[in-house]
């Protein structure tokens, strides 16, 4: 440990961003991670069928693309294999009754989807809360 200027505990995106900033400032940084897979709650894994990659936790991480960290390091990210995969239906919350609330990039479609949940806000909120509570 004496060989490092900083030790970052955890390789979630906050830990990795911290390590990047410190490294760029010339610090020698060690990142320690308890899991066998880095990335914390932002990682994706093949959880069901081969070739189908799922978000394990966080789904809506689009704001990262507008972050200072992404702007500062994006060239390095892309040079090291980072890629963006975006679709027009990026996510959905499914419910036990077989219905689902789908997220759309198209604002009109999104409004239509929310309107389908009529009355939109209270029912959607209740269903999301029930779903989250398991």
Interface stretch with ligand FAD, choices 19-27, 37-45, 81-89, 97-105 (CB under 6 A): 37-45
Please state the φ and ψ torsions of residue 4, each to the nearest 5 degrees: -115, 150
Q: Is 45 in the site for ligand FAD (CB under 6 A)?
A: no
Shorter beta-carbon distance to ligand FAD: residue 118 or 131:
131
Residues from 14 through 33 that contact ligand FAD (CB under 6 A): 14-15, 32-33
Q: Tell me the β-bridge partners of 100.
A: 94
List % helix, strand, coil for the chain (3-state, nearest 5): 40, 20, 40
Ramachandran region of residue 22, left (φ > 0), alpha (ψ -120 to 50) or beta?
alpha
Q: Is 104 in the site for ligand FAD (CB under 6 A)?
A: no
Binding residues (CB under 6 A) for ligand FAD: these are 9-15, 32-35, 40-42, 57-61
């Amino acid at each position: 440990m004496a060989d490092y200027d900083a030790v970052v505990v955890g390789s979630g995106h906050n830990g990795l961003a911290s390590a990047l900033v410190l490294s760029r400032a010339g610090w020698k940084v060690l990142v320690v991670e308890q899991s066998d897979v880095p990335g914390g709650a932002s990682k994706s894994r093949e959880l069901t069928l081969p070739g189908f990659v799922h978000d394990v936790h966080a789904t809506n991480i689009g704001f990262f693309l507008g972050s200072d960290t992404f702007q500062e390091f994006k060239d390095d990210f892309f040079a090291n294999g980072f890629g963006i995969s975006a679709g027009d239906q990026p996510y959905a919350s499914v419910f036990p009754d077989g219905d689902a609330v789908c997220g759309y990039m198209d604002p009109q479609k999104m409004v239509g989807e929310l309107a389908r949940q009529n009355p939109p806000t209270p029912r959607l909120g209740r269903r999301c809360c029930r779903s989250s509570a398991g």
